[in-house]
A = this chain, B = another copy of it.
Amino acid sequence: VKIRGVTSERSTNDYIDDHHKSLRGVFHKKLESVQSEELIRDSEIIFMCFSPAVAMETAPRVQKLNPDAKIIDLSADHRFDDVATYEQWDKVKHANPGYVGSWVYGLPEINKNKIKKARYVANPGCYPTAAILGLAPVMDGRLIDVTSVIVDSKSGISGAGRGLTEATHYPECNETIKAYNVGTHKHTPEIEQVLSAVANKKITLSFTPHLTPMTRGILSTMYCRLRKPLEHGDVLALYKKFYKNAPFVRVLEDWLPETKFVYGSNYCDVGFVVDKRTKRLVIVSAIDNLVKGASGQAVQNMNIMQGYEEKTGLEAPPLYP
């Protein structure tokens, strides 16, 4: 892959390694403006990483300038099949509701065949990636009551983005943990939409995100009521089968995920406990929110869209400890 260009509207004409100093000596390129028509025309694949409600404006322009380009949008702007749901939860009017039908939700473990043929891919959110990969294998409802699902998620602070807020000010968020946006987080309908498709039935679930004092990582703990008595091995076999072609999902046989084991990697680790006493299945999944939850998954999607080997460029092992 050759990187044609990188853009920044705030720092146009600076070099990228002036702002990402870790890249000094590694990647030195002048930041261009997304307004550059030449850049858009020259690009075969375009990754869009904008603040909310920007990609919906930019994508049509890009599609017009370069109808052959493939686009991977890392924002939520093109993730929904139902624009009304997006507008209600994101509290913004969609500028281009006609996108529905031409964008594919880019979670490879669920939609690989559609992604292969897609020109436009909406890259999933970080919380949805962890939650969906944990729950999808049981959402057909044979083993669990799909109306009983609760998702309790814990995210590192980088999930809140690079913008400066009180919530990400070190003295405010270090040495503390809190729940936020309980019952109202925008990722809720995204999780529900994808799991509803898997379940072939409308799913409503509880999702509670928490801000955890660490830079990276999402851990999701999920609770489902069992429909019948089950053994650990039954569930394990199901998960193993479901993910047999998913090189980035590691189904853990005898221990539970923690975020450090996937740090810096594109893995999603999934483990579970069959709690016979309470008749619940407790599933735990872990990702690095900045890799499998964002840029790594975007590269995985590119690989699939382009027909490259799915793991290309994503094989560095997790950084430990």
A interface residue numbers (CB < 8 A to B): 20-27, 150, 152, 154, 156-158, 162, 164-166, 168-180, 182-183, 204-206, 208, 210, 212-217, 219, 221, 223, 250, 252, 255-265, 267, 269, 273, 275, 277-278, 280, 282, 284, 316-321
- Asked whether, in the complex, the Cβ of A282 is within 8 Å of the Cβ of B164, the reply is no
A252, B261: Cα distance in complex, Å: 33
- A87 → chain B, closest Cβ, in Å? 16
List, in ascending order, chain B residues with CB within 8 A of A217's CB: 175-177
Copies of this protein chain in the complex: 4
11 A–B contact pairs at CB < 8 A? A22-B318, A157-B170, A162-B171, A175-B217, A176-B260, A178-B260, A179-B219, A182-B273, A183-B282, A204-B277, A212-B213
Out of B162, B180, B250, B282, name the residue touching A182 (CB < 8 Å): B282
Contact of A278 among B23, B204, B280 (CB under 8 A): B204
- Interchain CA distance A179-B255 in the complex, whole Å: 10
B208 & A221 in contact (Cβ 8 Å cutoff): yes
Give the nearest-CB partner of A316 in chain B: B316
B residues within 8 A CB of A259? Answer: 175-178
* Complex interface: chain B residues within 8 A of A316 (CB): 316
Given contacts A177-B217, A264-B264, 14 further A-B contacts (CB under 8 A): A152-B223, A168-B169, A175-B175, A176-B217, A177-B214, A177-B258, A182-B282, A183-B275, A183-B277, A208-B221, A212-B212, A215-B321, A216-B321, A316-B316
A236 to chain B, nearest CB (A): 15
Given contacts A212-B212, A278-B205, contact A250 B24 (CB under 8 A): yes
* CB <8 Å contact, A164 and B166: yes
User: By the criterion CB–CB under 8 Å, are B169 and A256 in contact?
Assistant: no
Contact indicator A169/B177 (Cβ below 8 Å):
no
A261-B24 contact, Cβ under 8 Å, with A182-B282, A221-B152: yes
Minimum Cβ distance to chain B for residue A88 (Å): 11
Whether B175 contacts A260 by the Cβ 8 Å rule is yes
- For residue A275, which residue of chain B has the nearest CB? B183
Partner of A175, one of B23, B165, B214: B214
- Judging by beta carbons under 8 Å apart, are A250 and B25 in contact? yes
Give A28 to B21 CA distance when docked, in angstroms. 35
Judge whether B214 and A258 touch: CB under 8 Å. Answer: no
Return chain B residues, CB-CB under 8 Å to A178: 219, 256-260
Residue among A150, A173, A257, A319 with the most chain B CB within 10 A? A319
Query: Hey, which chain B residues are within 8 Å of A318, CB to CB?
Result: 22-23, 26
The residues of B that contact A282 with a CB separation of less than 8 Å are: 179, 182-183, 206, 208
Q: Is the CB of B284 within 8 A of A182?
A: yes
Knowing A174-B214, A204-B278, A250-B25, the reply to whether A319 touches B317 (Cβ < 8 A) is no
- Answer whether A206 and B158 are a contact pair too, CB < 8 Å, given A169-B164, A171-B321, A219-B177: no
